[in-house]
Amino acid sequence: MLETPISHPLKLAFIGSGQVATHLALAFEQAGHRVQLIYSRQLAHATQLANQLTQTSATDNLNFVEQPGCDLYIISLSDAAVTTVMAAAQFPTDSRVVHTSGSLPMAVLLRPAFKLQIGVFYPIQTFSRNQPINLAEVPIALEAPEPELAALLQQLAASISRKVIFMAGTERKKLHLAAVFACNFTNHLLGISHEILVKNQLAPDLLEPLIRTTIEKSFHNHPFSVQTGPAVRGDENILQEHLQMLSEEPLYQEIYLLLSRSIQAGK
C-alpha cells in the first residue's frame, strides 16, 4: 500500500466480481476511494465482494442509469464476457468506462449512444484467490485518448502503484503476449515438474531453491545468457534418456522436445 494521500477520492463502480476486481476494489478503498457499486451476473457474487467493502451496493442489473453517479466504471471480466456485457449495459451519458484486460482493444467499449469516455486500466500481474499481492509493486498500464480521463486514470493508478505507464493498445498486446510466456507457460511447466516429482514419490519442495534461483537470475541477466541444462550443452544422451522417461506422457515429450530445440536455436 502507498502512503501518499490522494488529492481527490473517486467514486468507483466495478462490473465484475472476480479476482482482479476483488484485489483492485480492496486496494482502492484502502487508498481512500469509494467503491459504490459491484455488478455481477450472479448477485451472490457481487454481494460477497460488496460485503468486504464499506457502504458498497451489489447488483445484477446492467442498467446503471438509475444508479448514483460514479466517476469511473471498471469492467473486470473475462475477455469473452466484456463484449457481451457492453452490448447490454446502459450507462449515464458521458460516463467514463475502462476495462482491465491486457489483450482486448479499447474499442470494445465503444457505445456511441452513451458518448462514453473509454480507456484501459491494466495491472500487469496474475491474481488468485487468497494470494496477497502488494499492488504498490505492480506496474499498471493505462490507455486513454481523452486528457480528462487520462488524468483521472493517472491519479487512480498512482494511488495504489509506484509504477504507472501509458501505452498504446498495440504495445499492450505485445506486453500481454510476453506476460503469457513469463507467467502462464512458466506456471504450467512448474505444474509438469510437480507431477513428475509426486508421481515418483519425491517432495516438490526439493526444487524450490532451484526455481527461486532461476527466476532471480533472470532479473539481472538476459535469460538466454544464463541458460543451463542438457539442451544448451548439446548432451544428446541425457535428452534421449529424458524423452524415454516421458514415454507414457506423449504431450510432455512433445513439450520437452520443442523447448529443447528452442533452447538450442537460441543459444
- Do the beta carbons of residue 38 and residue 25 sit within 8 Å? yes
Phi, psi of 84 (to 5 degrees): -60, -45
First to last CA, the chain: 41
**pLDDT tens by residue, 172-216:** 999 999 999 999 999 999 999 999 999 999 999 999 999 999 999
Residues near 91 by beta carbon (within 8 Å), at least 6 away in sequence:
64, 65, 73, 97, 111, 114, 116
Domain boundaries, given as residue ranges, for the chain? 11-167, 173-266
- Using CA atoms, how far apart are residues 106 and 85, in angstroms rounded to an integer? 14
Is the confidence at residue 67, as pLDDT, over 90?
A: no
Helix (H), strand (E) at residue 190: helix 186-199
Angstrom distances, CA of residue 119 to CA of 14, 34, 51, 109: 14, 20, 28, 8
CA-wise closest residue to 145 among 105, 174, 102: 105
Average pLDDT of the residues in 56-67: 94
Mean pLDDT of the chain: 95
Residues near 207 by beta carbon (within 8 Å), at least 6 away in sequence:
193, 197
Model confidence, pTM: 0.92
Give me the CATH code for the 173-266 domain, please: 1.10.1040.20
Is the confidence at residue 4, as pLDDT, over 70?
A: no
The number of CA neighbours under 13 Å toward the Cβ of 20 is 21
Give me the CATH code for the 11-167 domain, please: 3.40.50.720
**pLDDT tens by residue, 23-39:** 999 999 999 999 999 99
